[in-house]
Amino acid sequence: MSNTCENHAALCDAKDSVLLIVDIQTRLTAVMPAKVLARLQRNISLLINTASKLAVPIFTTEQYPQGLGNIEPELQKILPAGTKQYEKTCFSCAGADNFSEDLAATNRKQVILAGMEAHICVLQTALDLLSRGYVVFVAADAICSRHRESYETALHRLQKAGVIVCDAESVLFEWLRDAGHAHFKELQTLIR
């Protein structure tokens, strides 16, 4: 049996990816429906734990933290040392000080996006990164908006613009690519 799994441009590649978590802040999460927030936190935790294990760089942002609070404590606890964190006032992460330079310095071309809100900061970030030549993936089950209509409209716009819409579990298995991967058994337990 061959253990050489093919690479495809529309698949996430752990060696070419950066995970970007957008604005999961206490005052924003407080206004999200409980069921949506539980889904969001579960799937972002899955992405963080997988990225940490596979040495995928993680970037996080906070939109005007003086007004919207800091990153959710449950997520902050599991972020690995070396996570790049940015404060911003612009809606697109690409406008945060040093973000674009730090992203370019990774020499990685895929950005996996998670966070809130789908129709504002996630959308504007995705479109900016796409225009800069990055392959952008949005984990649909790891983003949210206060209103379902805004979330659905954002997904539609992202797909039309050429962003690859996927889910957190797909990212995990695409990063692993093979059941023979050294971390497969350990990471598989995260989805049970």
123 contacts 155 by C-beta, under 8 angstroms: no
Residue 2 scores a pLDDT above 60: no
Nearest to 115 by CA among 38, 18, 12, 24: 24
For 35, other C-beta atoms within 10 Å of its C-beta total 8
Residue 118 scores a pLDDT above 80: yes
pTM of the model: 0.94
Looking at every residue in the chain, the average pLDDT score rounds to: 93
Query: CA torsion angle for 4, 52, 136, 191 (degrees, to 10)?
Result: 80
Q: Write phi, then psi, for 161 (nearest 5 degrees).
A: -80, -15
Structure tokens at 33: 């429906």
Residue 19 scores a pLDDT above 60: yes
More confident residue, 46 or 183: 46
Low-confidence winner among 33-37, 46-50, 132-136, 185-189 (lowest mean pLDDT): 185-189
96 contacts 87 by C-beta, under 8 angstroms: yes
The CATH code of the domain at 17-191 is 3.40.50.850
Q: What is the per-residue burial (b if ≥16 Cβ within 10 Å, else e) of 161-186?
A: eebbbbebbbbbbbbbbeeebeeeee
Mean pLDDT of 10-32: 96
The separation between the first and the last C-alpha atoms of the chain, rounded to the nearest angstrom, is: 27
Dihedral sign for Cα atoms in the order 148, 191, 81, 55:
negative
Mean pLDDT of 38-60: 96
Residue 184 scores a pLDDT above 80: no
Residue 4's pLDDT is 62
